[in-house]
Amino acid sequence: MDRFVYVAMTGAREAQLAQAVTSHNLANASTTGFRATLAASRHVGLEGPGHAAARAYATTQGYGVDLTPGPLQTTGRDLDVAIDGEGWIAVQAPDGGEAYTRAGDLEIDAFGMLRTRGGHPVLGDGGPIALPPLEAIEIGADGTLSIRPQGQDAAALAVVERIRLVNPPAGQLVRGEDGLVRTADGALPPADANVQLHSGALEGSNVNVVSAMVDMIQHARSFELQVKLMNTAEQNDRASAELMRLG
């Protein structure tokens, strides 16, 4: 009887985890540059003496990132950039390490630091990018930052830094709890000159709302089914106990 109830229990647990992932994706359906999280589960047989091929439990295999591009939205804002095709913008993570994002809604804080709207410093070839006082800024397709220094005329453009753009293999990418993407082994990929930016545009979330809603319904039904199986296991256990008493 324990086989029945524990197999159903692990199935309910995985359905609940999948529902949480789908809910998280739906909550970020309008988040700039968001890439949906993918959850994978598999069956694992119970191992040990006397348990060969006795039962198989459901367990989480891991979480991946949906690399399907999101829609481009033209904004006309000088500090908005969207990556054209594959690639990532390098930023400094809260732990001080390097991480990657597709969110190109950039801002300049009171100290001249270039940051994403989420507050992560944008990295250049020499580390976090700090800009001097400026009148205007242009971001080139290769990530080059050109500014018109404060008090200078319109023709006085100066190149000050270049945004670090990378394109590590998709199979090496994992998402952290902070929402940023990193390489699984922690290695820093080289800057990739083939990664190009669209200035004055943002990439929207790649979450398909309709598909996510359908997934939520399926996960809910799967969870209900596993709970029914656990109830059935309990009823069978009670019936077996009654038969034992009669014997």
For the stretch 34-90, pLDDT in tens is 999 887 776 676 666 665 566 676 776 667 788 889 999 999 999 999 998 899 999
Q: Please tell me whether the overall predicted TM-score, pTM, comes out greater than 0.85 for this model.
A: no
- The half-sphere exposure of 149 on its side-chain side, counting CA atoms within 13 A, is 6
Residue 176 has pLDDT above 90, yes or no: no
Residue 237 has pLDDT above 60, yes or no: yes
pLDDT at 46: 66
The rounded Cα 198 to chain-centroid distance in angstroms is 22
Q: With the CA atoms of 207, 209, 214 and 216 taken in that order, what torsion angle do they form, in degrees rounded to the nearest 10?
A: 70
Residue 163 has pLDDT above 70, yes or no: yes
Cα 222 from Cα 216, distance rounded (Å): 10
Cα 28 from Cα 22, distance rounded (Å): 10
Q: With residue 226 as reference, give the H or E element that holds it.
A: helix 209-246
Residue 105 has pLDDT above 90, yes or no: yes
pLDDT at 91: 97
Nearest to 89 by CA among 38, 62, 129: 129
Where do the H-state alpha helices sit in 98-208?
none
Question: What does the mean pLDDT of the chain come to?
Answer: 87
What's the average model confidence in pLDDT over 17-31? 91
What's the average model confidence in pLDDT over 121-142? 93
pLDDT at 180: 92
